[in-house]
Structure 1
Amino acid sequence: MIDISPSVMQLLLAFAVAAPLLGAAAALLPPPPGLKGRNPEQAVLRHGVTVTGAVLAAVLALAAGFDHDQPSRFQATTDISWIPALNVRIHLGVDGISLPLLVMTALLFFLCALYSYFKLPAGPSAKAFTALLLVLETGTLATFAVLDLMLFFLAFETVLIPMYFLIARWGGDRRQAAAWKFILYTLLGSVVMLLGLLLLGLHAGTFDMTALAADGGRGLTATTQLLAVLAIGAGLAVKTPMWPLHSWLPDAHTAAPTVGSVLLAGVLLKMGTYGFVRILLPATPDGMETVAPYLGAFGAVGILYGSLACLWLARKGNKGDLKRLIAYSSVGHMGFVLLGIASMTPTGVNGALFANIAHGLITGLLFFLVGSLKDRYGTADLDTLAGATGAALYGRAPRLGALLAFAAVASLGLPGLAGFWGEMLALFGAFDPAEGLSRPAFLTWTAMGAFGTLLTAAYLLVVVRRVCMGDPAAQPAGPAALADVRGYEFAAWTPLVALTVLAGLWPAILLGLTDPAVQKLLAGGKA
């Protein structure tokens, strides 16, 4: 820990949330006179790298100044009255639950901006792309930093329009349909969520998340808690996405540009599960206790459904798109997160939070890699990659093949890498759920989740075998040589590889932050 004054910590958090929005406005302004005659598109992309880099530096400074001896306490807090009539406040703060998400979000946006500087997806203009990327960053960082229900809703909704345009204007085939499906699903879910947030805040007499957590639902009837959980949970479940509300995700991922897929999987999906932990678990414990067995069931079914869909897509002759396959794998991985949350135990919730971070790092890397394959081959179709073009990555581009194999084994939960700990802890939490929950039901969900880990290993190993292990000499239709990892790709991917290894070998770096905060959160809800 570096000794940083509370006022500086407040400024760092406020800067991290507000700077991307100001940067987006600056990106839309005419270029300065000195840039006339030069390349304005590269200049605005460089502006995006600069702003996201500054935000990452501020978040890292915030993490360095964070008091790791008290991760359950909100730090760098700002609390200003905004709408007195409704008692809505501009309330910001960070604890051990939100800090890892803030760091991962800032890192992924910086890496995406850096990647786009060298490989901008085809679309209308670099100005619009950069501005949308920065608005998206403001919305996601604010979601993890605000401590007021109405501000949470505004931040939650801020991400919809920029992501819609990123898919619709810079995406691939069927991008318009995918973009409309994305925004319709999430908007409908958000309408229901808003009703639940209003119900919760008005009945409790406050929209402040810290006050709601401290009260632990004592001022709310069981019926009010249940209705709030159902309404708010529906909106959060769409964004997670929870089976069977997931069908927008494969289309969105398949059509989105590479950086859109990275951010969608690495950041946006985490907003839904974060809402379950930050709002519903502490503020409506009785309602969550009623809903938890069903939430666990949906999570367990999602694990099996996502894995079976991936197995089908990986089979030869099924024309499976690799981006679509990874999207379905996200349904399965987020099922483990939901199962951990549903257990309502410190072990399970810690596992869910760890799995959130691991999924963001690993799946972000996978989408980067598949995007680079699509750039090189012109397709992400698995049959084409494994057949006519002769991917055989170990022989044609050994570094690219090794990275793809690394990301695959990390995603299947190999011990020693980040993907292992979250899913294991989520299963342990479901194996021994909180008092009052049905142990036989959760044992069933645990068994389903454990079987899902075997299916996950099966489809990912099939993908590695088909894409990486072909014989280049036996497939003359493919290029004799393939561009291996380029410098900018190495710069964008190396941090994700390093953090995946670090979190896998030293899980205490995350659990030391989340566990005290989770213990306090669950204790407050049960008090």
Structure 2
Amino acid sequence: MDGFAWLSVLWLAPVIGAGAVACVPASARAAARWVAFAASLVTLAVAVVVAVRFDPGGERFQFVESHSWIPAFGTRYELGVDGVALVLVLLTAVLVPVLLLAGWRDGDRAAGRRPVHAYVSLVLIVEAMVLMSFLSLDILLFYVFFEAMLIPMYFLIGSFGDTRGPRAAVKFLLYNLFGGLIMLAAVIGLYAVTAGGASPFESGTFDFRAIAGAISSGELTIDAPVANALFLGFMFAFAVKAPLWPLHTWLPDAAVHSTPATAVLMMAVVDKVGTFGMLRYCVELFPDATRTFAPLIITLAVVGIVYGALVAIGQTDIMRLIAYTSISHFGFIVLGIFALTSQAQGGSALYMVNHGLSTAALMLIAGFLIARKGSRAIADYGGVQSTAPVLAGTFLVAGLATLSLPGLAPFVSEFLVLIGTFTRYPVAAIVATTALVLSAVYVLWLYQRVMTGPAREGVRDLGRRELAVVAPLIALLLFLGVYPKPALDAITPAVDATLTAIHEEDPPPTVPVFEAEQGGGHR
């Protein structure tokens, strides 16, 4: 590393872009959009530089920056990136310019003097806060941005969605603020533990690496009841944001009543902070509590997998159907995290990326279709492929990715999660596989009802801007489907480091032993 503050530049680029948008005259809507888009491309360029310079075989946390922030609280401005954070940073940096293109006209529908300026600025601010959540190595710093990102998301849902957007935005905010309040109590409790008499630290600290290292080495021991309470405080907030069944009820409304681009920003980017937090903070800070609650959480994850798929089958609203598929997919991610095997956790981290890409493709293409006819009802469509073959074809590819068809990116991650889970929780893995059949039902049935049959009325095919949105997503789904090695090369060392830190090993393979008739031996 050359000592340059790449990570600070990474998250500050969209902040500076939002500031630049504010300086654009109110009448220059097109200029505001292009300034925001340029800022998102700069962020993507910096993320690519970080990815290229990242050494999978080197230190776990790289590009580390550490500066004093609030010495009295033992908290620092400390950033760093490992393999799991890196792939999520790349996902965020790739999706934001795509979403700005997809929502190019979204700000025009809102009231106010500078609606376009506000819309693109809010998207950039969300991007900056999500990036900071992935990069933070200080627990308090992480918490600040974990909560702060709710405010711009609240305005994106409430001010730029449909007429029910404000109500959905309030529901989104209340659920997540309550989860954050519980987490705040846990953060304070963790600080108190590190400041206690049995702590190896001179005073309280929020340094994630120091706390995790002390717990791993046995220098810091947290009493089981306290550790369980702190774990549940963190886990509750992450489960709300992820969302994990039964804390998911805010998601369908927020996804349906916001713009498609905002819905993707929420489900494909913001919600990943919840599953990322489970993998980094819950597992590594509270290993014994993780083992204690893993069976319960895995049960909830499996219920979410099956529930989300079943409810999706019964939907009559295209966007609500896609929202419920995400609940099912988040169940797979959580299942992989708490199976506590290298395959399952590696697959879970990769699933975060692949779900982001597949959900973005499916929801944005559905949004383009709905914008043409003005209806979300499945019954209002039919025969779209006869007049818009490119739209129908890309919708089919995105749908097949959602059902984890081999050759497309989600298959690899879902397969790893199921294989890794089966070695430790075979019943959970077997029940979760039912979602493979259920997902085929809701995806193919949706395609059949909307895209096939006689055309009800002509639907315009995708334009150049819309193709520019869809093409990179489809390309990435195909690339990661046939060659996931670059992502797994970055993820695997980070996952292995997590399991090593909590002293967890993969279960040994079970080899059947057969009686040999000759010689009475075994083979």
Distance (Å, rounded) in 2 between the aligned partners of 1:176 and 1:117: 21
Q: What's the counterpart of residue 445 of structure 1?
A: 428
The 8 Å contact of residues 252 and 320 in structure 2, kept in 1 or not, is answered as: yes
Distance 1:201 1:426, change over 3 A: farther
Distance (Å, rounded) in 1 between the aligned partners of 2:215 and 2:303: 30
Deviation at 1:118, TM superposition (A): 5.3
Q: What's the counterpart of residue 292 of structure 2?
A: 290
The 8 Å contact of residues 200 and 224 in structure 1, kept in 2 or not, is answered as: no
Which AA in structure 2 matches 1:515?
Answer: T
The 8 Å contact of residues 214 and 525 in structure 1, kept in 2 or not, is answered as: no
Distance (Å, rounded) in 2 between the aligned partners of 1:463 and 1:241: 24
Post-superposition CA distance 1:479-506 (Å, at most 9, x none) = 3xx2211111111111111111111101
Q: What's the counterpart of residue 451 of structure 2?
A: 468
Bigger CA drift: 262-271 or 242-251? 262-271
The match for 2:150 among 132, 136, 160 is: 160
Which AA in structure 2 matches 1:358?
Answer: N
Q: What's the counterpart of residue 495 of structure 1?
A: 472
Deviation at 1:443, TM superposition (A): 2.4
Post-superposition CA distance 1:454-498 (Å, at most 9, x none) = 1111111101111111222xx4xx23xx22111111111111111
Which AA in structure 2 matches 1:470?
Answer: G
Q: What's the counterpart of residue 516 of structure 2?
A: none
Q: Cα RMSD over matched residues? A: 1.5
- Structure 1 position 195 matched with structure 2 position 185: yes
- Structure 1 position 512 matched with structure 2 position 489: yes
The 8 Å contact of residues 121 and 257 in structure 1, kept in 2 or not, is answered as: no
Q: What's the counterpart of residue 161 of structure 2?
A: 171
SS in 1 for 2:103: helix
Deviation at 1:12, TM superposition (A): 2.1
Deviation at 1:444, TM superposition (A): 2.4
- Structure 1 position 58 matched with structure 2 position 46: yes
- Consecutive unaligned residues of structure 2, counting only runs of 5 or more, are 195-203, 505-523
The sequence identity of aligned pairs, in percent, is 34
Deviation at 1:244, TM superposition (A): 0.3
The match for 2:110 among 99, 113, 123 is: 123
Distance (Å, rounded) in 2 between the aligned partners of 1:401 and 1:235: 38
Distance (Å, rounded) in 1 between the aligned partners of 2:73 and 2:385: 61
- Structure 1 position 358 matched with structure 2 position 357: no
Bigger CA drift: 194-203 or 239-248? 194-203
TM-score, scaled to structure 2: 0.91
Q: What's the counterpart of residue 182 of structure 1?
A: 172
- Structure 1 position 207 matched with structure 2 position 199: no
SS in 1 for 2:271: helix
Distance (Å, rounded) in 1 between the aligned partners of 2:205 and 2:340: 24
Deviation at 1:321, TM superposition (A): 1.1
- Structure 1 position 226 matched with structure 2 position 225: no
- Structure 1 position 396 matched with structure 2 position 390: no
The 8 Å contact of residues 147 and 210 in structure 1, kept in 2 or not, is answered as: yes
Distance 1:301 1:121, change over 3 A: farther
Q: What's the counterpart of residue 364 of structure 2?
A: 368
Q: What's the counterpart of residue 48 of structure 1?
A: 36
The 8 Å contact of residues 215 and 524 in structure 1, kept in 2 or not, is answered as: no
Deviation at 1:23, TM superposition (A): 2.1
The 8 Å contact of residues 60 and 493 in structure 2, kept in 1 or not, is answered as: no
Deviation at 1:120, TM superposition (A): 4.3
Deviation at 1:95, TM superposition (A): 1.1
SS in 2 for 1:6: coil
Q: What's the counterpart of residue 347 of structure 1?
A: 343
Q: What's the counterpart of residue 388 of structure 1?
A: none
Q: What's the counterpart of residue 92 of structure 1?
A: 79
Distance (Å, rounded) in 2 between the aligned partners of 1:117 and 1:363: 19
- Consecutive unaligned residues of structure 1, counting only runs of 5 or more, are 314-319, 386-390, 434-441
TM-score, scaled to structure 1: 0.90
- Structure 1 position 416 matched with structure 2 position 407: yes
Which AA in structure 1 matches 2:453?
Answer: G
SS in 2 for 1:415: coil
* TM superposition outliers: structure 1 runs of 4+ over 4 Å: 118-121
Q: What's the counterpart of residue 509 of structure 2?
A: none
The 8 Å contact of residues 46 and 117 in structure 1, kept in 2 or not, is answered as: no
Structure 2 matches for 1:308-387, cutoff 5 A? 308-313=310-315, 320-385=316-381
The match for 2:63 among 71, 76, 101 is: 76
Which AA in structure 2 matches 1:240?
Answer: A
Distance (Å, rounded) in 1 between the aligned partners of 2:476 and 2:227: 38
Which AA in structure 2 matches 1:511?
Answer: L
- Structure 1 position 27 matched with structure 2 position 17: no
